[in-house]
A and B are shown apart, each in its own frame.
Chain A
Amino acid sequence: MTLRRAGFAGAVAGEWIKIWTVRSTLWSMFATVVVTVGLSSLLALAYTLSYDRLGFRARLAFDPVAYGLAGLNFGVITLGVLGVLVVSTEFSSGLMRTSLSAVPRRSRLLAAKAVVLAVVALAVGLISSFAAFFASQAVFSMRRLGVGIGDPEVLRAVTGGGLYLTLIALISLGAGAIVRHTAGAITSVLGVLFVAPIFGVFLPEDWGRTVQKFLPPAAGSAILTTRETPVTLPPWQGFGVFAGYTALVLVVAFVLFRRRDV
């Protein structure tokens, strides 16, 4: 029996097999693409049909790219769940002990998981984002509201959609490694992403507006916009803030994963 050294490449190859051999991960990938594209198209249709009744101000605020990518918010949930499951199911099933007996270097195992998840999430995210863009613009173009992929800022926003979903998957992986229970981890991810902004609403106006911009969902989704708005940071700045949150969660996850008993 010939044997190679079991290094990082082996750990990544093992994780690659793992992610493709359970149905839950395949389902969340499939759901991400289908529902993201479907919701984006439906929202675009709703907007297009009610365009005549909109006031001047609403028409001025219209960002065909951001509106066309609105369905990505559902991708946040499905890829978030995928990110959590990649780690949490190993704890709930006892598989983590087997995985760590094969790859005892804790950081190596978690890094391999992060790399594989990032590749898969980026691919699924880009496919979803581009498909949602083209589908929604096809709908918008019925009223000549659409834009092309070659228009200024558009390619950045659509590619950014894929990058944003990749970070969502990674921050969820971190949450899964910290919380170690599927339900708890999903609740904390969705809580931070969807519930935290509610509190921003209740803060004094100028205060609230600033806080809101820096909260995870607004900061992360700023990359999807092609027009300046008072409620979001500039695209890359917002993306940078969200990448910072992701990095922070992952650092905590790695430290705890190295230290804790399994």
Chain B
Amino acid sequence: MISAAGLTKVYGGRTALDHADFTVRPGVVTGFLGPNGAGKSTAMRLILDLDRATSGSVTVNGRRYRDLPVPLREVGALLEAKAWHGGRSAYDHLRFLARTNGIPKRRVREVLDIVGLHDVAGKRAKGYSLGMGQRLGIAAALLGDPAILMFDEPVNGLDPEGILWIRRLMQSLAAEGRTVFVSSHLMSEMAVTAGHLIVIGRGRILADTPVADFIPASHVRVRSPDLPALVRAVAAERWQARPADNALLVYGVTPADVGDLAHRNGIRVHELAAVHPSLEEAFMRLTADSVEYHGGGG
């Protein structure tokens, strides 16, 4: 479990993280969602004690990261695509990491098998593709068989096969009862990967909720030249509705319900559609004021 309380980080006048309170729990993939520059990576670096908090605190299993007796046994982290020396092989990189935490050497072979790097493990890492580098980072994270795993933008730059692989890996890790904390600015990715969401914008935690609760309920959009009659009919049924752009949005019903109602009342219908708001829309609404760089790429 990861717990942050009033966690704040100011980089020379710019507040990257502003009194963040959140808890990441085991058994579910927790998505850490926010636009670029929202403070996701900052929070992850603070969790690992790589950056020093300006105020507030964050603990891992109740302790500061630096106070963990065998840190790799408790937390595994994939922080950025490249966090290894290009002149060293994957095998040597993992071997030195294992040695620092007293992890047996055979575990190095195991994680190389898990991530599928055994064939290139002896080659120098500078020749690795982006995807291979990402797999090496994940092998390092899995090395100590930790109960807490953190992945910072793990699918960045990966091909579809790699994305699917990481998604399945994270879900199986969570299913094993581990704490899985994964950051992303890709809503669509979080929608299919995460079970819980912590949404961040401009350094502030905007939502901390199950994914299902975050996406608003679907509704029906109906367009009609007899709109006033339709409004009256819907009101008579005591359905929740609101007008929008020459149309009526009706909540808590299906298109069939609305179509049948119109037919019974002799109301003409020109459009009838079920609307399923996406995580994107929910997210955009929430972070509308907190996007740091409008129109920025990536």
Contacts and interface: CB of A to CB of B under 8 A. Distances in A.
Contact-residue size bin, chain B (C-beta under 8 Å from the other chain) = 35 or more
B15 to A, nearest CB: 15
Interface string A88-110: 01100111011011111100000
Contacts of B51: 261-262
A14 B102 CA distance: 10
Contacts of B69: 5-6
Contacts of B88: 18, 21-22
Interface in A100-159: 100-105
B137 to A, nearest CB: 8
A90 B85 contact: yes
Contacts of A15: 96
Interface string A2-21: 11111000110111011001
Contacts of A57: none
Contacts of B96: 14-15, 17-18, 21
B72 interface: yes
Contact of A21 (B49, B77, B92, B100): B92
Contacts of B72: 6, 101-102
A15 B49 CA distance: 20
Given A6-B71, A13-B100, A14-B99, A94 B52 contact: no
Nearest to A19: B96
A4 B92 CA distance: 20
Interface in B96-116: 96-97, 99-104, 107
A4 B101 CA distance: 7
Interface string A172-216: 000000000000000000000000000000000000000000000
A19 B215 CA distance: 51
B102 A3 contact: yes
Contact-residue size bin, chain A (C-beta under 8 Å from the other chain) = 20 to 34
Given A13-B99, A17-B99, A102-B97, A262 B50 contact: yes
B92 to A, nearest CB: 4
Contact of A97 (B80, B92, B95, B102): B80
Nearest to A24: B87
A23 interface: yes
Contacts of A103: 71, 100
A1 B107 contact: yes
A53 interface: no
Contacts of B73: 3
Given A13-B99, A102-B71, A22 B87 contact: yes
B87 A10 contact: no
Contacts of A2: 104
Nearest to A260: B52
A104 B77 CA distance: 13
B82 interface: yes
Contacts of B68: 104
B130 interface: no
Given A1-B107, A261-B50, A6 B100 contact: yes
28 contacts: A1-B107, A5-B70, A6-B69, A6-B72, A6-B100, A10-B102, A14-B96, A14-B100, A21-B88, A21-B89, A21-B95, A22-B85, A24-B87, A93-B83, A93-B84, A93-B86, A94-B84, A97-B83, A98-B97, A98-B140, A100-B48, A101-B71, A101-B75, A102-B97, A104-B48, A104-B49, A104-B71, A105-B66
Interface of B: 45, 48-52, 65-66, 68-73, 75, 77, 79-80, 82-89, 92, 95-97, 99-104, 107, 140, 145
Interface of A: 1-6, 10-11, 13-15, 17-18, 21-24, 89-90, 93-95, 97-98, 100-105, 259, 261-262
Q: Which 5 A-B pairs have the closest CB atoms?
A: A4-B102, A14-B100, A21-B92, A261-B51, A17-B96
